[in-house]
Amino acid sequence: MAKLLRDTWLLFRANLRSTLRNPIWIVIGLFQPICYLLLFAPLLKNLAGSPGFPKGGAYNIFTPGLIILITLFSAAFVGFNLIAWLRGGVLERLRVTPVNRLALLLGLVARDVLLLMVQCALLAGLALFMGFKPDMSGLLLLLPLLVIIGLLMASCSYALALLTRDEGALASTLNFFILPLMLLSGVMLPLTLAPDLLQQIAKVNPITYAVDAARALVAGHLDDVSVLRAFVIFAALAVLGLLWATRTMRRAAM
């Protein structure tokens, strides 16, 4: 265990330093969510108070969904870096070192989750100036949920990257799954505005429960059943995703 923690820490520091040398990707990752916040959220003001629209104001409904959106996309596309590693022979060189194979994955995921937290914090900070009024206790409790979701998405992204080994195939695969999951989660508009059929389909979408939990936490409803449900669902999925990525990483590094 001590070797695993040490190797993970060393790889985390090395990966973080490499990312900070070219921080433009952190900014680029924020561009789309900021566009939504500046250009789409104001359109929801006229919907606030209408039948089916949840209470709390447009920004308190839209911002939590946007935070879940940035968590999904920022963590889901980290696999492109690993494909570059494969093509550049980095993974091959690490394979001949005594580094723990699980630490290879954990060092990358820890870096990704940290950068994700920075992006979410910057987005929430900007939203505060536009009318976002969250319950601070709920906002803090939202952070571990985002960490779990980020862990899940990053693990799956690395596993898919090792399986596809091609940027085009990875991008197509990710978009094939993430786009319908996003649209059927109520990220942009509350599902209470959707037809009954879409609401029923959304019940099998795990992202729906993350969005519901995020909105409940921001509203200060810490004991809402959606919060516990989201933590349980994504904790279980994160464990499965981590096991899948670890197994794929070990095979690639054998």
Name the average pLDDT for the chain.
83
Cα–Cα distance for residue pair 162/221, rounded to 1 Å:
40
Is the per-residue pLDDT at 153 higher than 60?
yes
Cα–Cα distance for residue pair 142/103, rounded to 1 Å:
26
Instruction: Please give the average per-residue pLDDT across 171-196, as a whole number.
Output: 82
Distances (CA, A) of 185 to 57, 69, 136: 19, 10, 24
Range of the domain at 233: 2-252
Q: Band of the pLDDT at 150, cuts 50, 70, 90?
A: very high
Specify the pLDDT at position 232. 95
Total structural domains within the chain: 1
9-29 as b/e, with b when 16 or more CB fall inside 10 Å?
A: eebbeebbeebeeeeeebeeb
pLDDT in tens, 13-27: 877 887 777 766 667
Q: Band of the pLDDT at 50, cuts 50, 70, 90?
A: low
Specify the pLDDT at position 32. 76
